[in-house]
Structure 1
């Protein structure tokens, strides 16, 4: 992975041409399939009237996206605008009280949305984990945190606690699970940081300020308590040079992404087509591969938009929130595959890195990944499809280490050493291409359905072999080469930047 030899310009141009041509060809097949299926009886529930003036219907299969940007849009804008306004006023008048303003405004917003009994329920979980933190036992805090999380994921406790929500509205269930689950993770982070730093004497008020910060409350991302507390406690925060421009650019990118998804949903029914397996089975192999890839790209864009919006508000509050997820197109290793960087940071800090150490030994890595995905399974809600998703991704993460260890084995290491730098890079890119499709297939299980995943696997690996299999692998290989070249360029730029910053 550390090879830093640049690709020849001709080779780079060939890879770019192949990749763009393949994407265009697959996109054309999806566009034709969307046009043919727009009036199918099986599509009526999830393809609704859209841009009638050009005769396009809209894919509305993802109810969360539809609700966020239709009936719930105004509520989100109103709540976040109020937060920004009061935060600005407080920062100007009494900056030392801004953390209290965040907590009070957030608690009032939660109470107004979900009712006072729901607020009291969450306060009960906060107090419970705060008391556990006073005992100074990390294992007790983590165990109680996982038990609290399980109470929001398993019956009968989940049914009992959901009764604390008053009123009914479309996104009530989403807000209940989001606010409750994120509250438990935040409280657990607070408790574990209190145990790790007993000299700092964190109070219950610090926990409430951390938990009820509204931009992160319902949808995340998670900031670990130590990071949040250090940043929000700055009495007179100062913006870095160019920070406001970056915030405006981030907000603009979120708007552009929302518009792009809206356009995409009017021309490509990527979420509806997989629900009709008979229709999907008639797609050309290239269009089917593009459909599987598009499902993961959409989920990444959805996460990027959601976190982009709340991160913009957090940046206005002088916070440095977790970054949006890395684009799925740039992923070819399981170690970097995560759609929520905040939860990934939480898991890595308190579970994965704690158990796995340097992640270079097979047995500790296996124990670390099993523990991490066990907690992830609990977070997602235990069920058969989540068990399968967790097993596959846990296997993929460990398999990468096994392959790496095998590559370091004497005979194979000598073989690679005998290869030229360019050939070694190509061999690694070939393995990266196969890994890329493993990532797509393993995550397609949870993002769509097991039956659709089986269909894609059968068409690309069995009935399409060897022509389709090798074609898709070659296109992916070109993409991995471009990603590796981009990583090489960024690494060189970072090295040059560090050299310039070194004192003479």
Structure 2
């Protein structure tokens, strides 16, 4: 669901962070000494961060119990025998929707794809891609019906014809038109009439929304086709790309060039993985699912967010805990929703986009847009940001490219009013970070910083600035997850009613989080230890 650093939106290898490879090339991405903190100081920040998380979550748990009867009456909670009879918060539509479909059909159909893929790898390796394509079509017919299959087949054929024109503008107009029709009331009424339940209709909506990116990727790749390029661009190869089942309903997003490069380069050997690694991946997936279920059984996060009167009344610790729990649940949810398809893709011998990075270790807008939804990030970089000029087109071009990226991603998510607020806040946050990095990259200022600040002092200053960025970042995510009214309540309570002590405490907590995030980045990429990029990969 996210974008990237406006200064470093370039294509490159996914094995090494592009943002880190660009230091020597980008004048605005100079390195600076950034020594690790003393162990005692770091562990103090770590313990404080953990304590803040656990105590605020405890406050949310207590508040959930206190308001349980009210929430059950107003919103609706379900008793679940699987979790010691605890009541379950079912107001997160996305989680409830996908778990219901997974239990009923999708889990078995995914396993069917995995078994068929391994069987054909042994017996019909030459025809394996086309057998998987047929399987995807059959499954599409089973879950979406004849009309759903016909709709996707018709869209695929139309976009194949559009691709032959090799005109990116027509591709984008067609893609936007498809999204517009998806949210047209008359079209929605027609599609609803095809099914007996709302869940079937919404599955079609999710599928068509994700497929629109796949159509667009194919057409734009075909538009840039060179005479010497031998990539497959036939109608069957497009059908394979569209109907490849692990990515069919909800992604993650893999661009056409990445998909075909891997799918048609497969040899007759089994994928390079070990049984112990596969078992560990499955165990982690189950653990993430259990954690997500535990959160919605013990903390009624989403139900409380739907009751503005509760948000206006709870303690500040509960308010902060709800914000942390909301964004962490969103993170864990997508570890599951993307983790299972990624596991099936791995069994097929393909490389899925990296799973989301933990939001508690991120401390910038640029980091979360790069590291949360990696597949969508690559799509936006390759097809929106760079073609619009990107950072190489000057300040004005960069501002326009970034704005265009956010406009498209907001429109793709549905174009609701709160999404435009969310996009505007993210745009402001990224531009603010970009402006600060440009300022700090001025030679005269860099020399003065080097002379007057020690590496440890510079790091502490960076963490202080990152706490401000993180506060705005959390606010934008709350708007995305809860709507603009939730954002207004947080601003009112924290910065008007709680001024000045509550904001000071909040920034102090976020300062600890930022220090842990910076240390974690240095741990992940030890070869960059002692240097700190002004264009940080993490948030």
- Confirm or deny a common fold (TM above 0.5): yes
Task: Report deviation, 1:293.
Answer: 1.6
- Looking at structure 2, the residues matched to 53 and 401 of structure 1 have their Cα atoms a distance apart, in angstroms, of 46
SS at match of 1:167: coil
1:251-266 alignment, distance < 5 Å: 251-266=282-297
SS at match of 2:80: strand
Which residue of 1 is the match for residue 21 of structure 2? Answer: none
Aligned CA-pair RMSD: 2.4
Check 1:344–1:53 CA distance in 2 against 1; reply closer, same or farther (3 A cut).
closer
- State the TM-score, normalizing by the size of structure 1: 0.92
CA contact (8 A) 1:444 1:453 kept: yes
Comparing 385-394 with 137-146, greater Cα deviation is found at 137-146
1:60-459 alignment, distance < 5 Å: 60-70=90-100, 72-160=102-190, 162=191, 166-199=194-227, 200=230, 202-236=233-267, 238=269, 242-338=273-369, 339-358=372-391, 361-409=394-442, 412-417=445-450, 418-459=452-493
Comparing 63-72 with 333-342, greater Cα deviation is found at 63-72
Which residue of 2 is the match for residue 474 of structure 1? Answer: 508
Task: Report deviation, 1:198.
Answer: 4.0
Q: Deviations over 1:361-415 (max 9, x none)?
A: 4212211111111111221112211221111112212121112222334664444
Check 1:27–1:431 CA distance in 2 against 1; reply closer, same or farther (3 A cut).
same
Find 1:460's aligned residue among 490, 494, 507. 494
Task: Report deviation, 1:264.
Answer: 1.7
- State the TM-score, normalizing by the size of structure 2: 0.86
- Looking at structure 2, the residues matched to 231 and 35 of structure 1 have their Cα atoms a distance apart, in angstroms, of 50
Check 1:53–1:8 CA distance in 2 against 1; reply closer, same or farther (3 A cut).
closer
CA contact (8 A) 2:522 2:528 kept: no
- Looking at structure 2, the residues matched to 411 and 460 of structure 1 have their Cα atoms a distance apart, in angstroms, of 38
CA contact (8 A) 2:34 2:455 kept: no
SS at match of 2:280: helix
Check 1:266–1:235 CA distance in 2 against 1; reply closer, same or farther (3 A cut).
closer
- Looking at structure 2, the residues matched to 241 and 54 of structure 1 have their Cα atoms a distance apart, in angstroms, of 41
Gapped runs of 5+ residues in structure 1?
497-504
Check 1:449–1:377 CA distance in 2 against 1; reply closer, same or farther (3 A cut).
closer
- Looking at structure 1, the residues matched to 179 and 84 of structure 2 have their Cα atoms a distance apart, in angstroms, of 48
- Looking at structure 2, the residues matched to 8 and 239 of structure 1 have their Cα atoms a distance apart, in angstroms, of 47
Residue 13 in structure 1 maps to residue 43 in structure 2 = yes
Comparing 174-183 with 426-435, greater Cα deviation is found at 174-183
Check 1:411–1:469 CA distance in 2 against 1; reply closer, same or farther (3 A cut).
farther
- Looking at structure 2, the residues matched to 151 and 54 of structure 1 have their Cα atoms a distance apart, in angstroms, of 45
Q: How many residues are matched?
A: 494
- Looking at structure 1, the residues matched to 468 and 135 of structure 2 have their Cα atoms a distance apart, in angstroms, of 49
Which residue of 1 is the match for residue 63 of structure 2? Answer: 33
CA contact (8 A) 1:362 1:402 kept: no
SS at match of 1:58: strand
- Looking at structure 1, the residues matched to 73 and 256 of structure 2 have their Cα atoms a distance apart, in angstroms, of 45
- Looking at structure 2, the residues matched to 27 and 454 of structure 1 have their Cα atoms a distance apart, in angstroms, of 22
SS at match of 1:260: helix
Task: Report deviation, 1:453.
Answer: 1.8
Which residue of 2 is the match for residue 488 of structure 1? Answer: 522
